Every structure is written in C-alpha cells, then in structure tokens.
Amino acid sequence: MSIRVNDLKFSFKQYQKEFEDKALEILRGGYYIMGSELKSFEEEWAKYNKSTHSIGVASGLDAIWMTLKCLGIGEGDEVITQANTFIASVMGITMNNATPVFVEPDEYYGIDANKIEEKITDKTRAIIAVHLYGMPCQMDKITEICQKHNLLLIEDCAQSHGATFMGRRTGTFGSAGCFSFYPTKNLGAFGDGGAVITNDDDLNKSLRIYRNYGSEIRYHNKIVGANSRLDEIQAGFLRVKLSHIEEINRERAVIADNYLNGINNSKIILPKIRNNTSPVWHQFVIRCQEREALMAHLNHKGIDTLIHYPIPPHLSECYNYLGFKNGDFPITEEYADTVLSIPIYNGLTKNSQDIIIESLNGF
Ligand SMILES: *Cc1c(COP(=O)(O)O)cnc(C)c1O
C-alpha cells in the first residue's frame, strides 16, 4: 500500500467524459490558439471571481512578471513580498530588473502585515501578497497599507483559486490577481497555463497586447511583447474544471477537516485558519521539529510527503547577488526547516486519509 503525495489521474477520471468530449471538439474544430474557448474561459473566470477582466497567459510566472511590466515596474523599483514564497513570485520581480524586498510570514504563512511598513522606502512601488497553500493573507490590513503609501497591490493567487477573505475572492483586492493553472493547482490544466484578473481597464488592454507580441491588430506591433497565450485546448479543459470548482474545493476542505479533527500529536503543529477567510487547501502543511524522522516514519508506512519549500528565495543560489545570508529571516528559515506537506488531492480515499492520520498520531 502506497499513498502518493498527489495523483492527478483521479481528477482526470472524475470528469473524464467531459474532458474527452471537449478535447475532440477542439481538435476537430481546427482552431488552436486565441479562439472561442479562450474567450469563453476568460469571461467565465472573470465572472467566477467577480472581476471585470481576465486575461489568459502561458503560465503563473508570466502572469506575475507581465503584470509588473505592464504596471511600469522596472529598474530602481522595490517590490515587497513575503520571504517564504515559491521562487516564481520573486522571479516575477527580478525579471523586470526590480529589487525584491522580503517580509517575514505570519503564523498563517501569509505576509506579516505588521512587518510591511518598516520595509517601505521611497523606492517601494508595489506589494505582492502570496496566498500560500490556499490560505488568504490579511487583506484588509494590506489594502490599507497600500492605500496609505500609494503602492500597487498584486496578489499571487497561484495556490488560492476560489479562496476568500471576508467573502471576497483572492485576486480582487488590488491592481491584479495572478493565477497559475499548472496541473497540480486547485484549478489545474493538463499542461502549463495562467491568467491575470483585474478591474483596471488599462492593465487589461496592456496585458492583451503584451501577451501577443505587443500587437492588438495582427502584424501591427506597438511594443516589444511576449508570446504568452493560453492555448484553446487548455482553456477548454479549464472550462470543464471551472464548472466543477466548487466540488473540487469542497472535497479538499473535507479532507482538511478530517486531518484537523483527526491529527493529534504534540510534536506536530497543524495549520491555523485566519478569521474571516475560507482557504482552499492547495496544500495541507504541518510543522514538526523532527521533520526528517517524521518523513522517514511516514515513508516506512508507504506515505509520500513533500516540502514546500526547503530553500527560501533569499538563500537560493540564483539570488546570491542580493547578498542575503542564513539568519536574515529566522521565521522563514524555521518554516523551511520544519514544514511538511502531507497528501491532499481530489480522489484521496477516506481509507488513505485514516492511514495518514493514524501514522501521524503514532509518531
Ligand atoms: C505555481 C506557482 C507559481 C508559478 O506558476 P507556474 O504556472 O508554474 O509558472 C507562482 N507562485 C506560486 C505561489 C506558485 O505556487
């Protein structure tokens, strides 16, 4: 008996007929890039999030760096984000030659809103809040800080499709919400994909031009842009999944509830839910001082786990040039040393969940 940390076959099988029908429809239709599936998906995704616009792009990383680019962020600008994020949030900043400024996370793994203001300088242009693991950041406070200091707010929603803060979807609090549809995400495609949602008409227009070689009208190139489009086939698959997103997130919430109620071991710290938020459990992340021993124990029971993430961006080799060292962000580093993601995915059986709970409690 072996329980994988994620198994994407199940979410395919859940809606297999719909995916297969959609694939054939698109293949037979003969139109594969920037067609009606993309247009419909963009409308449906904007509507689901109660946002004015949605722009499909090729990946979550593209969503972030192109958004910053279109908002005019570049060399000499500072962008604040949390130190415990996935590397893509930071690469989106540095790809524009802007400087990332890190803030420690709070106990819910989001950027610590109480530690943002001390990092603001006259070069600060924007804050990227990352709703890590599907847990919304402290958006009321962050929005207030952005207004007070006249900063742009961008949300990295690559792990938070459908999550809400005070009833409002993540991605709708500032200038833009950046999403990834990488296959393991809650709304996952069968390949790479991404999108930006925004209420800003100018940003919408800029991104649409930017993602398609800087052209609005074919062969009329206004600016040097990128090739970053969401394919018809992925947009079609995403429409199928989006029609079931509430079920998909509900199933994950049921698994998370089982874990929260069932896991009881003084060596293990469980995730806490921030007031007024509804997380979507992209990951179920526990912490343990004896993480390596716990991993080995679970592995021995046939249970796979993963670490999100073992090396924080400020200690990653690619960011040596920023000059950070061990000890600069003690909370982030402590999290990197103790976090462990246990299996949570659509199709994970109740029996497997019980084995995982029992194994954790037996450690
Ligand atoms: C997955 C992810 C991204 C990047 O998305 P890609 O589609 O893989 O480029 C960005 N930020 C976070 C927090 C992510 O989890």
**Is the pLDDT assigned to residue 116 strictly greater than 90?**
yes
Ligand 1 site residues (CB inside 6 A) read 59-61, 85-86, 88-89, 130, 156, 158-159, 180, 182, 192, 194
Give CA 284 to chain center in angstroms.
14
Whose C-alpha lies nearest to ligand 1, atom 1? 158
pLDDT confidence tier of residue 51, bands split at 50, 70 and 90: very high
State the DSSP string of 332-362.
Answer: HHHHHHHEEEEP--TT--HHHHHHHHHHHHT
Pair 225, 57: CB distance under 8 Å = no
Whose C-alpha lies nearest to ligand 1, atom 10? 88
Task: Quote the ligand 1 centre to 206 CA distance (angstroms).
Answer: 22
Cα distance between residue 186 and residue 172, in whole Å: 18
Give the helix/strand (H/E) hosting 285. Answer: strand 284-287
131 CA: nearest ligand 1 atom: 13
The per-residue pLDDT for range 267-297, each reduced to its tens digit, is: 999 999 999 999 999 999 999 999 999 999 9
Give CA 353 to chain center in angstroms.
24
Task: Quote the ligand 1 centre to 65 CA distance (angstroms).
Answer: 11
Whose C-alpha lies nearest to ligand 1, atom 12? 158
| pTM for this entry | 0.98
Instruction: Give the chain's count of helices (H) and strands (E).
Output: 12, 14
Residues 6+ apart with CB under 8 A from 85: 130, 132, 156, 313
The per-residue pLDDT for range 187-243, each reduced to its tens digit, is: 999 999 999 999 999 999 999 999 999 998 888 898 999 999 999 999 999 999 999
Give CA 303 to chain center in angstroms.
25
**Is the pLDDT assigned to residue 357 strictly greater than 90?**
yes
